[in-house]
Structure 1
Amino acid sequence: MKARPLTLQGAFEVIPDRHRDKRGVFLEGFRADWLRAATGHTLDVAQVNLSVSRLGAIRGLHMTKTPPGQAKYVTCMTGAIVDVLVDLRLGSPTFGQHETVRLDAAEHHSVYVPEGFAHGFCALTEDTTVAYLCSTSYAPAIEYVLNPLDPELGITWPVPHPIPSDIATEGRGLRDCLDEGLLPTYDECRTLAEPDPGRPT
C-alpha cells in the first residue's frame, strides 16, 4: 500500500498493492495498522455504510459536529465516482477549499477523510456502489448536510445534470455553518486524528 497526501492536509489517497494471477486480483482494502503507520492517523471503525447510486447522483456533502467528529475511509466497489472533500477546519491553511479524487472499481484506490471535513461524491456510472468505513456511528443530532451546489464552495460536478438530494440542496451553505458556529478548529481536528499511545498496534 501507498498513501499519497492530498492538497488538503491530513487527507490521503490510498493505493493498494494488487496481486494478480490466473484467478483474478487480490488486495488488502484496509488495514488499520498500516494506515496509522503511513499517515499518523488512527481509524477505529464503528460503522460501515454502503450506497448504490445512479449515474449523476450526488451523495453529501456530509459533515459531523466536532468533537466527536467522524473520519471516513471511502472505496468505490463497483462503477466509478468523483470523491469530494471540503476542508471545514477553522485556522487550516486550506479552509474552505475542496479537492476531488476519482475512485473506481478498476484501480481499487481509497480515500481517507479525517475529522473536520465535509465529504461527498458524484456517481459517474449507473449502479455505482461505494463503501464507507466510519470512525463513529451515525448520530442525527450532530450530523449536517452542506449544500453541494453552494456557489461559495465552487465545486464543479463532473456530470451535466447532477442529482443531489432535496435535503442537500436545502442544506446549509458554508456561510451558514460559520454563522451558526458549527465548524471545528484545525487544532481540535488534529488532536482527534493523533494515534492513542495506549492503543495496541
Structure 2
Amino acid sequence: MNAIETKLKGCFILEPTVFEDERGYFFESYNEHKMEQILGYKPTFVQDNQSKSSFGVVRGLHMQSGEFSQAKLVRAIEGTVIDVAVDVRPDSPTFGQSVAVELSAENKRQLFIPRGFLHGFSVISDTATFFYKCDNGYNKASENGVTPLDESLAIDWGISVDQMILSEKDQEAQSFETFKLNF
C-alpha cells in the first residue's frame, strides 16, 4: 500500500497494491497493522456505512463535533466521486483549507480523514456506491456542517452548480463564516 500525505497533516491518500490476472483482481482494502504504521497509532473503526447515489449528488460538508468526532476511511466501490476534506482543527496551520481527491472503483484509492475535518463528496459518474469506516458511532446531537456551496471554501466539486442535487439539510446548512463563529 502506498500512503501519500496530503497538504493537510494526518489526511492520507491510500493506494492499494492490486494483484490482477485473467481471473480478476485482489487487494487488501484494510490492514490494521499497515494503518498503524502510516498513522503512528492504531485506529479502531466501530461502524461501516455505505450509500448509493446518482450523478450530481453532493453529500456534505458534514462532521460530528466534540467527543463524538469521527475519523473516516472512505472509498468508492462503484463509480467515481470527488471526495473532499476540510481541515477545521482550531490550532491547525491549514485550518479552512481543503483537499479534493478522485476516488473510484477503477483507481481503488481511499482517503483517510482524521478527526476534526468536514467531509463531503460529489458523484461524477452515472451512479456511485460509497463506503466508509468510522472510528466513532453516529450521534445526531453532535452533527455539524457547512454548505458545500460556500464561496469562501471555493471547492471544485467536479460538476456545475446547476447539475448538483443537494438534500434539504445541505441546502440550508450554515456558511463557513457562521461555522467558525460557533465552533
Match for 2:173: what amino acid?
G
One-letter code aligned to 2:155: I
Deviation at residue 41 of structure 1 after TM alignment: 3.9
* CA RMSD between the two structures: 1.1
Which residue number corresponds to residue 114 of structure 2? 114
Is the 2:145–2:179 contact (alpha carbons within 8 Å) kept by the matching residues of 1? no
Q: Is 2:47 aligned against 1:47?
A: yes
For 1:32 and 1:131, locate their aligned partners in 2 and report how far apart those are by CA, in whole Å. 17
Asked if 1:139 corresponds to 2:144, the answer is no
Q: Structure 1: which amino acid aligns with 2:45?
A: V
1:125 aligns with: 125
- The match for 2:176 is 174
TM-score normalised by L of structure 1: 0.87
In the alignment, what sits opposite 1:100? 100
Q: After the TM superposition, which segments of 4 or more aligned residues of structure 1 sit over 3 Å from their partners?
A: none
Alignment deviations for residues 117-148 of structure 1 (CA, whole Å, 9 cap, x no partner): 00000001122001010011110000112110
Counterpart code for 1:42 = K
1:89 maps to 2:89: yes
Q: Distance in 1 between matches of 2:140 and 2:159?
A: 30
Number of the residue aligned with 2:72: 72
SS at match of 2:56: coil
Identical residues among aligned pairs (%): 34
Give the equivalent residue in structure 2 for 1:194.
Answer: none
- How far apart, in 2, do the equivalents of 1:31 and 1:120 lie? 24
In 1, Cα distance between equivalents of 2:104 and 2:42: 24
> Separation in 2 of the partners of 1:22 and 1:155?
40
Q: Distance in 1 between matches of 2:121 and 2:41?
A: 22
Match of 2:165 among 163, 166, 172: 163
Q: TM-score, normalised by structure 2?
A: 0.95
Amino acid corresponding to residue 140 of structure 1 in structure 2? K
Contact 1:145 1:167 in 2 (8 A): no
Distance in 2 separating the partners of 1:139 and 1:42: 22
Contact 2:68–2:139 (8 Å) recurs in 1:
no
Match of 1:29 in 2: 29
Kept after mapping to 2: 8 A contact 1:63/1:146: no
Structure 2's unaligned 5+ residue stretches are: none
2:106 partner SS: coil
Which residue number in structure 1 is paired with residue 20 of structure 2? 20
Question: Are the counterparts in 2 of residues 74 and 111 from structure 1 also a CA contact under 8 Å?
Answer: yes
